[in-house]
Amino acid sequence: MEVAMLVRTLTAARRVVLFFILAIISQNAAQSSQPQVQFGDLRYCGAFKLPEYWEPVCDDQCTFHYAHGAVAFNPHQGGNNANPPSLFVACFTGQGASNVGEVSIPEPVISNTGNINDLPTATSLQRCANAEAGASATLSFGEGGISGILIAGSKMYFTCYNSYPAGGCQSLSHFVKNSLDLSAADATGAFLVTNNAGGTCFINGPMTWIPQEWQAALGNMPAITYNCCHSIIASTSWGPAAFAFDPSALGNTPAASVALQYYTSSHPALGQWDGGSGPLVFETAWNNSWNDAPVPGYRGLVIPDGTRSALYFGAQGIGEYCYGEGTSDSSLHGQPYGGTIYCYDPAAVVSKGDHAYPYRFQIMAFDLNDWASVAAGAKEPYEVTPYAVWPLAPPVIPFTNGITDAGGGGAAYDPATRRIYWEQARAYGSGLPIIHVWEVTSATAVAPWHALENQTDIITAYPNPCNPGVKITVHWQWTVDSRDAIIEIYSVRGALVQKLRAARNTADQRAGIAWDASSQPSGIYVIKAVIGNTRGSKTIVLTK
């Protein structure tokens, strides 16, 4: 952690002061007054379809048929700031597929009649292709595939998982693709992300960005990675999980993570895997089972900026729990079948495992104050519970009848428009998904930011720790018409302390300025460099 490195450079006396500051900050971080997102704050904008096409060479695996994996927001097609945004979507999931495609984002439409033909169709920008191409350590996923994607500038980070790791979780999980060109064989990995909860199956799934105002409180990391709720359940989290990490740290040296939320058989705060006697956090009329079938569950997570909410998209079985072979014939329910029994489940008719038909899609909302408390050591990761669970069902959300697929797909967030994109798997045609869209209206919109490929190298601050002055330098490849850099300095709680303009030096592609912090109290501050609509960040410590 960057702060830990700074602590080691201080004298013993200043360490005492700094640790006192950090203790106060940790307490304050756990008491953010930013609003919680409520269901009424999510304005439903409608939906659109993913395109249908066939590739004779690889059949389904090179299409969006039966896709229920990752969805990632891309601010600019091709990484060019002049281009509109797009979505990268994991393609066919299963049979070890590791393909990704890129689509446009049409304006969604609300269908008042529930007719799928009312919805517009996204345009295919790049057809499904193997994202792992070029990597030195490709993986075998069984029935899994790509479950997490992040876009940062011209790079793609992605994860791969095995949905039934009977032989144990693979130690490697995260990849780096060094361009957004899906035809280029430029992936590296797989790489190791460490965690203190258990095996890789706790972290080898969905990913999302942490808003900048929360990064200092959540381990000083820019992103979340996690996995949960899939067979074999002992290998992963018994409910939605969260581990903060830095994708730019992926490489031959294992990348660290900070546990913020996870559950185990010893600490099943969200209930038992099989609907057993664990504590209820849902309405008592519901089945006490957070699992969903087919696996895995809670494939989408977004953290809207300007709020203190983490929103997981998934599903829950609300019927009788049953382990066995799925069938669409209700008369066979409970009857013997090949050493097990039949379970009535028209949503998973050829699936041996956990069933709790009928299912309903839902959003599970958690408070980031709890994550901050965990990061500060004031709470255990398995003590975090949701503050709300919201069903997604017709007529409020068309097409979400829980019949076609019980798990749902990934989710992505656009901070510029405050829109959430969630994939409903197998919604129409031959197992094709649709993308539902919401706008978050609960908080004042903040200026959009996009992750930079290497934040540490883009902003330097010297000396750090400082007292009271610090020289801030921004390193960036400016275009001819780029503006000067705007330097924003924030307290660790997100309050703007000072805003400065740094003139760029075209000779060495730098912009520098001195900040006099003599009027500010000791503490941790976050420097943001704003160049157009792109931001980088750097943490500094002021000691007096």
Q: Is residue 246 one of the residues assigned to a domain?
A: yes
Residue 20 or 238, more confident: 238
| Six token digits for residue 501 | 């303009």
Summarised one tens digit per residue, pLDDT across range 375-430 is: 999 999 999 989 888 888 776 677 776 555 556 789 999 999 999 999 988 888 77
307 and 189 within one domain: yes
| Six token digits for residue 446 | 């903040």
pLDDT band at 3 (very low <50, low <70, confident <90, very high): very low
Q: Is residue 17 one of the residues assigned to a domain?
A: yes
Summarised one tens digit per residue, pLDDT across range 485-502 is: 788 887 755 678 898 887
Helices 368-375 and 12-29 meet at what angle, rounded to 10? 160
pLDDT at 2 over 80: no
Q: Is residue 538 one of the residues assigned to a domain?
A: yes
Residue 534 or 242, more confident: 242
H or E element, residue 29: helix 12-29
> Exposed (0-12), middle (13-18) or buried (19+): which is 91, by Cβ within 10 Å?
buried
Residue 8: what are its φ and ψ, rounded to 5°?
-65, -20
Residue 201, pLDDT score: 84
Beta bridge partners of 258: 244
Q: Is residue 18 one of the residues assigned to a domain?
A: yes
- If DSSP states are collapsed to H, E and C, what string results for 401-469? CCCCCCCCCCEEEECCCCEEEEEEEEEECCCEEEEEEEEECCCCCCCCCCCCCCHHHHEEEECCCECCE
Question: Which residue is it, tokens 């704050």?
Answer: 41
Q: What is the mean pLDDT of the chain?
A: 79
User: Residues 14, 17, 23, CA angle at the centre, nearest 5°?
Assistant: 140
| Six token digits for residue 297 | 């569950």
Picking from 336, 355, 374, the residue at the C-terminal end of a domain is: 355
Picking from 382, 416, 440, the residue at the C-terminal end of a domain is: 440
Overall average pLDDT of the 89-101 stretch: 77
374 and 473 within one domain: no
pLDDT at 124 over 50: yes
CATH of the domain at 435: 2.115.10
Picking from 355, 371, 399, the residue at the C-terminal end of a domain is: 355
Q: Is residue 399 one of the residues assigned to a domain?
A: yes
CATH of the domain at 517: 2.60.40.1930
As a whole number of angstroms, the distance between CA 325 and CA 348 comes to 9
Q: Do 523 and 6 touch, CB atoms closer than 8 A?
A: no
pLDDT at 165 over 90: no
pLDDT band at 298 (very low <50, low <70, confident <90, very high): confident
Summarised one tens digit per residue, pLDDT across range 136-156 is: 876 655 556 788 999 999 999
pLDDT band at 207 (very low <50, low <70, confident <90, very high): very high
Overall average pLDDT of the 312-333 stretch: 85
404 and 285 within one domain: yes
433 and 470 within one domain: no
What contacts 69, CB < 8 A, 6 or more positions away?
Answer: 89, 90, 91, 93, 145, 146, 147, 299, 409, 410
DSSP string over 483-503:
PPEEEEEEETTS-EEEEEEE-
As a whole number of angstroms, the distance between CA 233 and CA 164 comes to 9
pTM of the model: 0.74
255 and 137 within one domain: yes
Residue 250, pLDDT score: 96
Q: Is residue 445 one of the residues assigned to a domain?
A: no
| Six token digits for residue 196 | 């203190």
Summarised one tens digit per residue, pLDDT across range 223-275 is: 999 988 777 777 778 889 999 999 999 999 999 999 999 988 788 777 665 55
User: Residues 168, 101, 441, CA angle at the centre, nearest 5°?
Assistant: 95
| Six token digits for residue 402 | 């829980």
Q: Is residue 446 one of the residues assigned to a domain?
A: no
Residue 296, pLDDT score: 43
Name the DSSP letter for residue 2: H
Residue 460, pLDDT score: 81
To 10 degrees, the CA torsion angle through 204, 210, 216, 221? 30
> Exposed (0-12), middle (13-18) or buried (19+): which is 28, by Cβ within 10 Å?
middle
Overall average pLDDT of the 288-303 stretch: 61
**Of 27-41, 363-377, 400-414, 433-447, which has the strongest mean pLDDT?**
363-377
User: Residue 341, Cβ neighbours under 10 Å: how many?
Assistant: 16
Residue 139, pLDDT score: 63
Residue 290 or 270, more confident: 270
471 and 423 within one domain: no
Residue 58, pLDDT score: 59
Overall average pLDDT of the 31-56 stretch: 85
390 and 523 within one domain: no
User: Residue 543, Cβ neighbours under 10 Å: how many?
Assistant: 18
Q: Is residue 447 one of the residues assigned to a domain?
A: no
506 and 426 within one domain: no
Expressed as residue numbers, the domain containing 343 is 322-355
The number of distinct structural domains making up the chain is 3
Q: Do 93 and 66 touch, CB atoms closer than 8 A?
A: yes
pLDDT at 128 over 50: yes
3 state DSSP class of 47:
strand
Residue 96, pLDDT score: 52
Residue 319, pLDDT score: 74
pLDDT at 482 over 70: no
231 and 87 within one domain: yes
Helix extents (H) in 313-422 = 368-375
215 and 138 within one domain: yes
pLDDT band at 61 (very low <50, low <70, confident <90, very high): low
> What is the separation, in whole angstroms, between the first and last Cα of the chain?
22
At position 468, the amino acid (one-letter code) is P
416 and 339 within one domain: no
As a whole number of angstroms, the distance between CA 450 and CA 422 comes to 20
As a whole number of angstroms, the distance between CA 304 and CA 353 comes to 34
pLDDT at 302 over 60: yes
As a whole number of angstroms, the distance between CA 452 and CA 469 comes to 26
E-strand stretches of 285-358: 300-302, 309-317, 322-327, 336-337, 340-344, 352-355
To 10 degrees, the CA torsion angle through 166, 172, 174, 180? -100
Q: Do 434 and 48 touch, CB atoms closer than 8 A?
A: yes
pLDDT at 206 over 90: yes
Sign of the CA dihedral with 315 first, then 316, 318, and 320 last: positive
Overall average pLDDT of the 309-338 stretch: 88
294 and 263 within one domain: yes
